[in-house]
A and B are shown apart, each in its own frame.
Chain A
Amino acid sequence: MSYVEIRGLSKRFDDTIVFENIDLDVDEGTICVLVGPSGCGKTTLLRAVAGLTNPDSGVIRIDGRDVTAVEAKHRGVGMVFQHYALFPNMSVEQNLAFGLQQKKLSAAEIADRVAAIIKLMGLEQRAKARPAALSGGQRQRVALARALVLEPKLLLLDEPLSALDAQIRKRLRDELKRLQQEIGFTAIFVTHDQEEAMMLGDVVAIMQSGRFSQLGPPADIYNKPASLSVAEFIGDFNIFNPEAVSGLFGTHTDFPWAVRPEAIDLLLPGSKLPKRLAGVRAEVTIGSVQALGAMVRYFVRAGQTSIKVDVLNKAGQQRFQPGQKALIHIAKDSITEMLK
């Protein structure tokens, strides 16, 4: 039995299904990321786990205890909100102490635990400040600390990084991962940003229109999208429909192919490839070139099809020029057939 167990959870608002028949397992000490476009039901699912929304049917178990009918404050979950939800009239310290005071702990113990979490989160300088005086990143760190100080069985994070600007978002994301590995808390993290999901999740659930369209380790989702819609959501895939496949590669397929741009090798025309390397090849013309930092992206054309190819941007490596002829090769392992 897993640490967090969700079985057959459904919720509708009036006639619209928010999510239906959701099953989800989260192991202790791992982060499960729910990622999907806005309106896919991920936030409502998270709120149902928190006890802020009542599901219509289904069961939620946390650490072996059925909490489906338990009030939010007795579930032992902590939550971090997109807009921090800090109490504006209280200092950082007071915000952190609030939950402990509700547990009727002794003043001395509260002071100890608040001091410890302030140190852990690196908030020593801002302990007496009001939320209004903090930067967005600091506010979210306080919100995280406020949830963690209660040592929740399960931490829920609702798009906690979405309101921050790109740089802070990245830094806080790394910090969160490090913190999780240090303390080992269990978390469900909701986001609409696939990069964030891939980076943070031990397990990633892609949620689309109220269902999981794929659930698994990030590497699997990245390399083997289960459906065309997942591939589209993850983005950047080259999709070859069956006609293109037979036209370009002379191979028959009943289903479209999805291939990641970095899985395509770009070679000089006439290059010899070892026979044992299974795969397909086609002749192309270089269209345009973009330098993306670590990668160089080529847009190449073959007949009517435009293909994205990413190549590592190594110094001294020969670059292809627009208009130049080239050869692409796709290894068999890199081709995912889109069964749906």
Chain B
Amino acid sequence: MRDRSFRDWFWIGLLVTVQLLPILAVFLNSVAVDWAGTILPDGYTSDHIRNITSDPRFTQSIINSLIVATGSLLITPLICVPAILVAYCYFPMLDKCMAVLVILPYAVPGIVLALGLLRIYSGNYGIVLNGTPWVLIFGYLPLAAPLYYVPIKSNLRALRTTEIFEAGRLLGASDFVIMWRIILPCVKQGLIIGLVMNFTLAISDFVYANLLVGGHFPTLQIFMGVLNGGSGRKLSVLITTYFIVIFVATAIVVWVTSRRIDE
């Protein structure tokens, strides 16, 4: 048995290593003095990091990305979570529709939706949202909804919601109080996972940002596109920064979910 478990660990280790390789490569490139024609860089420096932080486009793109991400994180859960909860508790038909919305982004790729948004919100119908962060904030909502729906629903499934409502009502509570004080705290874990994934989505998207706002409101990903093709040193720093942010977000998810296992 000991033998096989060693082999298991080997394979999982290999998988994780391969998973981490691209990230490692980008990081090495961001601190490399020169890295061409050799397997490892010739030397290491922090020049590129200083270089890029002095670039106003860098700060601007980070600020823009943060504006979009913050807007999305404020608006999306506020709109999605109440709908998910009332659908699960009161309207099973609506809940079934939401389950379909989870697969819809696979059938209708982002580029197609972006195309549609481009058609509608460019002023042809009297509304101009394109070129502003609003189109991204609201445009991401249908993509982010499944990220909340799936983990929150798995929390809800672990509850006996019908009995909780009945017990709460018999104890004199209104449905709002039951939702606010019992159901919502019970899906906290799913909500946090949803928030982190929503954040990841908002700072990782290129398709919507490129087609809908482009140069009017350059986000981190747009700026990466601008830098692509140059020496790559600046881009490496940018990508490394992006990774660090994503890793912090991931760490939050790991922390939240592992806490649940301990209990």
Contact = CB atoms under 8 A, between A and B. Distances in A.
User: Does chain A touch chain B in the assembled complex, meaning CB atoms less than 8 Å apart?
Assistant: yes
B72 to A, nearest CB: 27
B125 to A, nearest CB: 45
Given A81-B163, A85-B163, A132 B263 contact: yes
A52 B169 CA distance: 9
Interface stretch (B85-93, B170-178, B221-229): B170-178
Contacts of A85: 160, 163-164, 166-167
B182 A87 contact: yes
Contacts of B112: none
B165 to A, nearest CB: 9
A73 interface: yes
A72 B186 contact: no
Given A81-B163, A85-B163, A87-B182, A102 B170 contact: no
A99 B177 CA distance: 11
B185 interface: yes
Interface string A54-74: 000000000000000001110
Contacts of A81: 163, 166-167
A130 B186 CA distance: 12
B164 A87 contact: yes
A79 B263 contact: no
Nearest to A75: B170
Contacts of A86: 167
Interface in B144-180: 159-160, 163-164, 166-174, 177
Nearest to A73: B172
A98 B185 CA distance: 15
Contacts of B177: 102
Contacts of A52: 166, 169-170
Contact of B173 (A73, A77, A90, A147): A73
A308 interface: no
A103 interface: yes
Which of B160, B167, B169, B186 has its CB near the most chain A CB atoms (within 10 A)?
Answer: B167
Given A81-B163, A85-B167, A102 B173 contact: yes
Which of B164, B167, B170, B174 has its CB near the most chain A CB atoms (within 10 A)?
Answer: B170
A88 interface: yes
A73 B169 contact: yes
B170 A78 contact: yes
Contacts of A147: 170
A147 B181 CA distance: 18
Contacts of A103: 172
Interface string B246-263: 000000000000000001
- Classify chain B's interface size: 20 to 34
B182 A72 contact: no
B171 A99 contact: yes
A188 interface: no
Contacts of B166: 50, 52, 72, 79, 81, 85
A300 to B, nearest CB: 49
Nearest to B263: A132
Given A85-B160, A85-B166, A102-B177, A73 B171 contact: yes
A87 B166 CA distance: 11
A72 B167 contact: no
Interface in B176-213: 177, 181-182, 185-186, 188
Interface string A84-124: 01111110000000110011000000000000000000000
A102 B172 contact: yes
Interface string A314-340: 000000000000000000000000000
Contacts of A141: none
A146 interface: yes
A88 B159 contact: yes
Interface in A119-173: 130, 132, 146-147, 150
B263 A150 contact: no
A241 B24 CA distance: 87
A83 interface: yes
A83 B182 CA distance: 17
Contact of B186 (A50, A89, A99): A89
Contacts of B171: 73, 98-99, 102, 146, 150
Contacts of A90: 182
Contacts of B173: 73, 98-99, 102
Nearest to A82: B163
Nearest to B187: A89
A90 B170 CA distance: 17
Contacts of B164: 85, 87
Which of B171, B174, B188 has its CB near the most chain A CB atoms (within 10 A)?
Answer: B171
Given A81-B163, A83-B160, A99 B172 contact: yes
20 contacts: A52-B166, A73-B169, A79-B167, A81-B167, A83-B160, A85-B164, A85-B166, A87-B164, A87-B168, A88-B159, A89-B182, A89-B186, A89-B188, A98-B168, A98-B173, A99-B171, A102-B173, A130-B263, A146-B167, A150-B171
Given A72-B166, A79-B170, 5 more contacts: A87-B164, A88-B186, A89-B185, A89-B186, A102-B177
9 nearest interchain CB pairs? A99-B171, A102-B172, A85-B167, A85-B163, A89-B185, A73-B172, A87-B182, A102-B173, A79-B170
